[in-house]
Amino acid sequence: MTKEEFVKAYPRLYHMATSQAQPTLDTLGLLSTDAILDLFEMDATEKERLRSERRPQMTKLTHPKHGVFYLRDQRPMRDAALEQCLDGMTVREWYLSLNSRVFMWASRDRVDRLLAARAYRSQDQLVLTIDTASFAEKHFSEIVVSTLNSGATLYRPLRRGIQTFMPITAFQAGRLSKPIVEVTLVGSVPDFMEFVTSSEIRKGQA
């Protein structure tokens, strides 16, 4: 897929964060879990646990310089189901892959579904809209995409594994291709807020 095809097909991207995330986004940009744990100078044992195991609850981190940060829970994941649908990877390796990335949704419909999910519908969430053209202008070569929700294994989970995340340049657009669901980058995006066109607090509906 070319940059032009990507921008035309997905003119807006979306990121959903906890309602407390705005100050960190403004200061540090969009950070992967790995980048956050490095920044907060976590104990090695605790860092390994948070990187490689499911987080059943939101995790609060504190740092004397960087303040407070909340790692989102991974409640939509089930390790037993994940083990059954993985190809070429262990459960630990899958979590390591997820936690090395930042994520954006390729459609607003996906955001709306997540807002309405039982685990999140009663909570305020920060929803950011990103201008794809300006984002791709600077970061296109770094983009890796998936055609499924990589962070959920509820309700007949799709198979996933070493082939799930593919460089955007290798993604084949066309009638027979599945649409892009997730847009990811490894590490962090310090200039992320430059591409954000709107920022709103939303709550899903039951």
Kindly tell me if the per-residue pLDDT of 146 is higher than 90: yes
- What was the pLDDT predicted at 119? 67
Maximal CA-CA distance, the chain: 52
- Asked if 70 and 31 touch (Cβ cutoff 8 Å), the reply is no
The pLDDT-based confidence of 156 (bands split at 50, 70, 90) is confident
Contact at 8 Å (CB) between 177 and 171?
A: yes
Write out the residue range of the structural domain in which residue 62 sits: 3-203
Least confident of 22-31, 137-146, 154-163, 168-177: 168-177
pLDDT at 48: 95
Q: How many independent structural domains does the chain possess?
A: 1
Inter-residue contact 74 to 99 (CB < 8 Å): no
Round the average pLDDT of the chain to a whole number and report it.
92
Question: Of 122 and 6, which is predicted with more confidence?
Answer: 6
Higher-confidence residue of 206 and 186: namely: 186
Beta strands per DSSP E along the chain: 12-18, 30-31, 59-63, 67-71, 86-87, 101-105, 124-131, 144-146, 160-161, 166-167, 182-186, 188-189, 196-203
pLDDT band at 204 (very low <50, low <70, confident <90, very high): low
- H helices within 72-173, ranges in order? 79-85, 91-99, 108-116, 132-139
CB atoms closer than 10 angstroms to residue 173: 15
Q: In this structure, which amino acid lies at residue 34?
A: D
Give the global pTM.
Answer: 0.93
Question: What does each C-alpha distance from 101 to 29, 33, 98, 196 come to in angstroms?
Answer: 13, 7, 6, 18
